[in-house]
Structure 1
């Protein structure tokens, strides 16, 4: 498949160009996710090559035990069966999700959004070609060309057995899937990520991390939305002025709580509700935290359970933060933009789960498995 994607790059770009030309929405994040360029195709190829090089995740023994009566008990990894992923806009999901599903022994049903139809159909046709050339059924990868009503009917009354559903997108898509699905659902996609800048932070490092996390890809679920500043930070006013200036260079709208509402170039927040929002836009909220404990409480109250970072030179404070913040990925002195299956060495991801069962954070090849007990005896009875 990696070879086919490389060989058919121009056809993929051409199909994507049609999708971009047909897109009439004004959702900045969706438009950004929709676009496929040379770099994104290279990313698809790298993801497939990394997946191909990884160890088979099936049949891995997790536990073994010999009973006193002689029976041998073991637990090994096993495929789910059929996985359905419902996603918006992102043609690269058609690559990563199908690749991870196939290598972990799972059939996959891909339900992409209408805005990326031409791109997805082009990629699925390559999947079918790759499968057929290797004497595999093309039923391993199926594209569901459904509208909203058909998708709802399929979720409520599936025409085949589905073992797991992953909605990968905005909160409306997640709510729609949870409401209508009749099998387990893994929640993926919501960010609302926080950075806490401690009183003992390297301030230049803090600005670099915040700018990177906020501005490099606003459509990503690992992008930054909220910044908390320690109340006792030295040179706090100077730091904030510099930070706001840097954010303004990328046309980021800066909202502030009452502690910083007098800062030039900022907009006072109107409601507490903004702290719960994931922006997927050039917007950020900056507020004050009375202490490390206060920052942790705020993140656990308002955050999306995705990613959170502390910037500090105090390793003890960092350890308290990392252990206490209830997020899938926690960071010390690094950008939240690294919460990504490929960046974490997984060869891509099916999704980034903010659930705690069965897997949290990026779901890679070794995570798209369940388990099975094997009990071997020679006539034992209880």
Structure 2
């Protein structure tokens, strides 16, 4: 297998793949229909992630085309230094080598993960869930076709059709060198990988995202943002789960009533605690564990707060470290919120639904990391590299 591909070779494969996905989308949709028909639809979030339609196909193609148009992330100079003795020292980005991603349900990850890894000069091992096997195999077949069209080894993209026991054994005793593993799924999957992996793991963590409605909020913006963040795609890790409303908001009661009405009309189950318990249309709760929970469902928890500091404290205590938004027309308090909230993405007057590699201009994402090393938030093309030191001398000794 080639160890190094030129940027022209990598881009050519991505362009071939974009063309093949468009040309053979019928086969992908038929394979996905087999997976959908066999799936237990009781898990609404996973069902939504599993589904491939024309819109998702278009997203796959757009991601590949955006990736192929971006600059090469490999070999980018980050630092240079000339030593007193004449040594020329450079630090440049470098590929990891071999990356494994373990993911549940989402066939579009087979496109995005493969594309981002390949463009950044990495070999990719894909381990999808059994529920999406037909879809994933159809897409991997196209990857291999795109690679062969450009005289590149198919070993650059490998699908591991393993059950749980085989996956555990592979993690413990891989038959090849693996440089990085990314589990992309629920907390059980993440724990499973971290327990058995023998190489670095980047956690693509849960959401449990918050919106704080400040006393200085524009209430129209707040309603629109909350409804979008909650209902646009309940299966996404960037979907909204918790809302904190400042009790000093002018017309607080009428705003909360309207918010509850809008959510109920959108078929969202509304839970309420603290200063929300007095309102009708909600399910009252004192269960603190709900504040930690990512719902991935038509469910939301509303709470009240008396201050910005209290809101920040609650978000940092209960949030998943993914996304949080403040709705406020006060610039100073918004700056404080953005700097003090401990999350991968923080928003001012915008929906959390934008935490996404493609939306952030990265050409898709391998995952959304809630770890702080080595990259936080959407892991795109620019982040799927490590670094390497290059030192040029002329006989210098120390």
The question of whether the paired residues in 2 share the 8 Å contact of 1:192 and 1:225 is answered with yes
The question of whether the paired residues in 1 share the 8 Å contact of 2:205 and 2:320 is answered with no
- Tell me, yes or no, if structure 1 residue 352 matches structure 2 residue 330: no
1: distance between equivalents of 2:33 and 2:96?
A: 35
The question of whether the paired residues in 2 share the 8 Å contact of 1:72 and 1:377 is answered with yes
The match for 2:326 among 310, 331, 334 is: 310
Q: Could you tell me how far 1:48 is from its partner in structure 2?
A: 0.2
2: distance between equivalents of 1:268 and 1:171?
A: 27
Counterpart position of 1:212: 228
Counterpart position of 1:108: 124
Matches within 5 A, 1:194-209: 194-209=210-225
Secondary structure of 1:259's counterpart equals helix
2: distance between equivalents of 1:269 and 1:160?
A: 51
- Tell me, yes or no, if structure 1 residue 77 matches structure 2 residue 93: yes
Counterpart position of 2:76: 60
Secondary structure of 1:55's counterpart equals coil
1: distance between equivalents of 2:186 and 2:306?
A: 32
The question of whether the paired residues in 2 share the 8 Å contact of 1:258 and 1:268 is answered with no
- Tell me, yes or no, if structure 1 residue 253 matches structure 2 residue 265: no
Q: Could you tell me how far 1:26 is from its partner in structure 2?
A: 1.6
Secondary structure of 2:274's counterpart equals coil
Q: Could you tell me how far 1:189 is from its partner in structure 2?
A: 3.6
- Tell me, yes or no, if structure 1 residue 11 matches structure 2 residue 27: yes
The question of whether the paired residues in 1 share the 8 Å contact of 2:35 and 2:132 is answered with yes
Counterpart position of 1:123: 139
The match for 2:50 among 34, 40, 60 is: 34
2: distance between equivalents of 1:24 and 1:278?
A: 21
Matches within 5 A, 1:1-382: 1-382=17-398
Could you report, residue by residue, the CA deviation over 1:136-165 in whole angstroms, capped at 9, with x for unpaired residues?
000000000000111111111111110000
The question of whether the paired residues in 2 share the 8 Å contact of 1:191 and 1:306 is answered with yes
The question of whether the paired residues in 1 share the 8 Å contact of 2:222 and 2:327 is answered with yes
The question of whether the paired residues in 1 share the 8 Å contact of 2:98 and 2:177 is answered with yes
Taking structure 2 as the reference length, the TM-score comes to 0.95
- Unaligned residue ranges in structure 2 (runs of 5+): 1-16
Could you report, residue by residue, the CA deviation over 1:188-242 in whole angstroms, capped at 9, with x for unpaired residues?
0410000000001000100000000000000000000000001211101100111
Taking structure 1 as the reference length, the TM-score comes to 0.99
Could you report, residue by residue, the CA deviation over 1:17-71 in whole angstroms, capped at 9, with x for unpaired residues?
0000011252110000000000000000000000000011000000000001000
The question of whether the paired residues in 1 share the 8 Å contact of 2:96 and 2:385 is answered with yes
Counterpart position of 2:7: none
Runs of 4+ aligned residues of structure 1 deviating over 2 Å after TM superposition are none
Q: Could you tell me how far 1:270 is from its partner in structure 2?
A: 3.6
2: distance between equivalents of 1:356 and 1:184?
A: 13
Q: How many residues of Structure 1 are paired with residues of Structure 2 in the alignment?
A: 382
Q: Could you tell me how far 1:290 is from its partner in structure 2?
A: 1.6
2: distance between equivalents of 1:361 and 1:368?
A: 12
2: distance between equivalents of 1:277 and 1:233?
A: 26
Secondary structure of 2:275's counterpart equals coil
2: distance between equivalents of 1:38 and 1:249?
A: 28
